[in-house]
A and B are shown apart, each in its own frame.
Chain A
Amino acid sequence: MIASRILLLIILPLSVFAEGVSWNLGIVSNIGQGEQVGQDYDYLENFLNGSISSGPWYVDLRFEYSHPPEYGYQFTGVERGLLRYTSDTWVLEAGDISAVFGRGLALDLYEDQAIDFDNQIRGLFFSTTLFEDHELDFLVGSNSGYRFYSPSSDLREPDGEAAYDLSGLEATFNGASGNWFVAPYLIGSQVKSKYSWTGIDSTIGGFAIDTVTQTMHAIQGGWGQSLYGDSWDLYLEYNHTWKTFDYPLVEQSIIQTDHGLILENSDPEYKAQGQALNLQVNWFPEWFTIMFEYKRYLNGPEVTSDKRNPLLLASKPLPWQLGPTGIRQHDISLLGNVTHPVDYGDELGWNLELRRTMNEWWSLSLNAAQISQARDSRDLDRPAGFWPTQDITSNPWQEYFVELEYAGDALSNRMFIAYTHSVLSGLVGAELIEHLTLVPAYISWHPNDDMVLSSVVEFQHSNVSSQIYGGDPVHGHDYLSSHVIGSVDLKHKYSASIIWDKSDDPNLNNGSTGNQDWISGELSIKPFDGLWVRTSYGKEKGGVRCTGGVCRVLNPFEGFRMSVEWRL
């Protein structure tokens, strides 16, 4: 009610000056009715986005009515708002601020509704040009309801919540020749999150475990820089983080002694430091391009048992510390499911990619990536390494693939072969999985202007074994998965698809090694540009959905879904 009145108050004065006013409206509705792992799973989410611009002014508002949403909490009201003024030399924003310093190693504020991730702040952003070539960016604001999920979470609602205030300053100095830039930055913040604390409770005369609010103050400083050559470029970014806590990070235990029970706090830490480094080199001579990326993220090394503890946010990377993933996000469904959620707290790795366009029709990509923890999570006192190890105690992950793409006038196809090796390190041993993925067809063929026929065929063979640290690997089981899509598009308006997944992975079939099928159908209609209606019905296999290394697990779903996107 109040929100609609606010909107009216903003829009009506603007309408008086309707000449030169430009508007955009969009409605996105997602409806689902069905079951997930045997439980009813219904959702209804509606987002009404409205933006108006007039000369240098821009207003953006989003209303949400979700009952409940697919992920996160039920909400009705103004979910996002932004007012921006753009002049020739400066920009001022007030509202929900998305911003990136460098490539986000120190500060990356963004929202991704699909995985219920939103670390944006509500506040002010100011950017100005200095001496024509240089820039200064300043932001300040807070987020009172930051929600987070652990990487393997398949829950509908978040594991934990936090609140924070932050302010940051970034200066960008561009070389007069246009061949380099340097961008130093500084960020100060305060984060409040839930923490499990054991203390003496005088009312009961004993120890009590409480969930308290832990306050952390952090300073981050660093810089990003680029060099540009004729056929190469280089990007380097480094930052350092200093944190202090009111409640110390500590392992607490209650011990029986001759004098009774005592509370022992082992090595309480009232402060912590972190650092992150990212390097990328591109080389593009005439006949191919090479990209090499190196990362070393040490924003919060933890022992394995703490990594998924939502009551230990202070020991993890700050909610806005993200950065390049160092691995590719796959559109190949089966490969996407075996991808690696990036641990911005403790990870190092490299990625090498070569692309070659062979002629007008054919192109080739080769990619290799290796990643592991930088520290041994069983012994955090040992110094961090510089290159990823394949030691099974360090959650190593590696992937190599070759992709061949044909893009003809009427027919296009991609062929893909990949080897992925991932290890999930535990306290006494590890689970090792090898995946061999083959995609013989990712075909699109349009026999005439009004029809497009498409097909995707993916196969994946997986081999699971386990190994106790210091012991020999013990073979567990093999399984085969396949993913097939057939679709037809007519007149660029109507589309129908059948999606068929098949797997004998016992983890997906209550421990049984028998085959299981997931079949669903999808219909999509675009009656005119601006309106897009998609419906699907059937069983969906689920999998992993990632945005920039932030991943969540989607449970299998059986039922009906509908999505409407309408732009006015």
Chain B
Amino acid sequence: MIPKVINYYLFLDKLMELSQIKNLQYMMKIIPLLLMVSLSFGQDKQLPQVKLKDLKNKTHSLDKIVDGKLTLINFWATYCVPCRKEMKHLNRIDNTYADQNVQVIGISIDDSRTVGRVKSMVKSQKLAYTILLDTEQKLYKNFNTSAMPFSIIVDTAGKIIWEHTGYISGDELKMEAEIKKALKPQTKG
């Protein structure tokens, strides 16, 4: 795959030299190049190593919290209304599947100006699952999305097996279905 990428790149280089549409040639080169290179890596997505703080300012390595558990990670913010609607379902999922090695982690992407409201929200919604802070969005940015809420499911080996953007009523059922699907081989094993 890699030599193909190089050939393709060189081919485009020549082709674009002939083109006079300078801005267009840039995008035409970059996008296919990245697509092909990414395909050469295969489809596995791993949770990146990152350190996040909890509500008491303690720093945690996310991979150590996730390690060995099927984990639903939900990115949210205090000013996001769909996020609030989703929370009670996440609370229920965390509670329902806790004895099956499943956990929910809520990661607030509130910035420094609104992060002070996170604890109040967590307490008022009586959230029992783990809450971490990604104030500088160092993890969230990794997923190249601007929408909220944003959820991923990470399997016991740290591989991202499902991603979902936004929340409308009923999305929690899809989430639960994915968890059940991921639990099946574990149960068999």
Q: Does A92 interact with chain B (Cβ within 8 Å)? A: no
Q: Are B114 and A324 in contact (CB under 8 A)?
A: yes
Q: Are B113 and A98 closer than 8 Å at their CB atoms?
A: no
Contact assessment for A129 and B59 in the assembled complex, using a CB-CB cutoff below 8 Å? yes
Q: Interface majority SS on A: helix, strand, loop or mixed?
A: strand
CB-CB under 8 A from A49, the residues of chain B are: 144
Query: Which residues of B have CB within 8 Å of A228?
Result: 56
For residue A288, give the distance in angstroms from its CB to the closest CB of chain B.
Answer: 7
**Candidates B35, B38, B40, B145; contact of A565 at CB < 8 Å:** B145
A11 with B37: CB separation less than 8 A = yes
Q: How far does the alpha carbon of A187 sit from the alpha carbon of B76 in the complex, in Å?
A: 31
Q: Closest CB-CB distance, B162 to chain A, in whole Å?
A: 8
Contact A323 B169 (CB under 8 A): no
A100 to B170: give the CA distance in the assembly, Å.
37
Q: Which stretch of A16-24, A301-309, A421-429, A457-465 is in the interface?
A: A16-24
B141 proximity list for chain A (CB < 8 A): 51, 60
A233 at the A/B interface (Cβ < 8 Å)?
A: yes
Q: Which B residues touch A449, using CB under 8 A?
A: 170, 173
Cα(A24)–Cα(B48), bound, Å: 10
CB pair B123–A284 under 8 Å, yes or no, is yes
- Counting contact residues on chain B (CB < 8 A from A), the size range is 35 or more
Check if A482 is an interface residue, CB within 8 A of chain B: no
Contact B41 A226 (CB under 8 A): no
Set of chain B residues within 8 Å of A91, measured between Cβ atoms: 51
Contact, CB under 8 Å: B168 / A293: no
Bound together, the chains give a CA A322 to CA B88 distance in angstroms of 33
Q: Are B123 and A289 in contact (CB under 8 A)?
A: yes
- Of the four ranges (under 10, 10 to 19, 20 to 34, 35 or more), the interface on chain A belongs to 35 or more
Q: What number of residue pairs across chains A and B have CB atoms under 8 A from each other?
A: 214
B85 touches A24 (CB 8 A): no
Stretch binding the partner chain, chosen from A34-42, A325-333, A514-522: A325-333
CB–CB B58/A22 < 8 A: no
Q: How far is the CB of B11 from chain A (nearest CB, A)?
A: 14
Contact present for B142 and A51 (CB under 8 Å): yes
Is A452 a contact of B168 with CB atoms below 8 Å?
A: yes
B124 and A53: CB pair below 8 A?
A: no
Closest residue of B by beta carbon distance from A450? B170
Check if A15 sits within 8 Å of B2, measured CB to CB: yes
**Nearest A residue (CB) for B39:** A568
Interchain nearest-CB distance for A281 vs B (Å):
10
Enumerate chain A residues within 8 angstroms of B40, measured Cβ to Cβ: 15, 18
CA gap between A108 and B135 in the complex, in Å = 10
- Assess whether B165 is in contact with A325, with CB atoms less than 8 Å apart: no
- B171 interfacial contact with A, CB 8 Å: yes
> Are B59 and A529 neighbours in the complex by a CB distance under 8 Å?
no
| Chain A nearest CB, measured from B104 CB (Å) | 18
Contact status B124-A444, CB under 8 Å:
no
Query: Which of A23, A135, A174, A291 is packed against the most chain B CB atoms within 10 Å?
Result: A23
> Is residue A240 within 8 Å, beta carbon to beta carbon, of the partner chain?
no
Using a CB-CB cutoff of 8 Å, which residues 135-189 of chain B contact chain A?
A: 135-138, 141-147, 162-165, 168-171, 173-174
B50: A residues at CB distance < 8 A: 58, 86
Let me know if A46 is at the binding interface, CB within 8 A.
yes
Give CA–CA (A86, B47) in the complex, Å.
13
**Interface: B19 (CB within 8 A):** no
Residue A489, interface by CB 8 Å: yes
A293 touches B144 (CB 8 A): no
**Set B33, B44, B59, B115: member contacting A8, Cβ < 8 A:** B33
Q: List 23 A-B contacts (CB under 8 A).
A: A4-B29, A15-B37, A24-B45, A26-B144, A50-B38, A53-B46, A53-B49, A76-B23, A100-B111, A104-B111, A178-B56, A233-B119, A235-B116, A282-B123, A325-B114, A360-B88, A444-B85, A446-B169, A530-B163, A548-B112, A549-B113, A567-B143, A567-B144
Known: A407-B88, A548-B113. 17 other contacts (CB 8 A): A1-B26, A12-B37, A24-B143, A26-B143, A49-B144, A50-B38, A53-B142, A60-B141, A98-B138, A103-B116, A289-B124, A329-B114, A353-B120, A405-B84, A414-B81, A532-B147, A565-B146
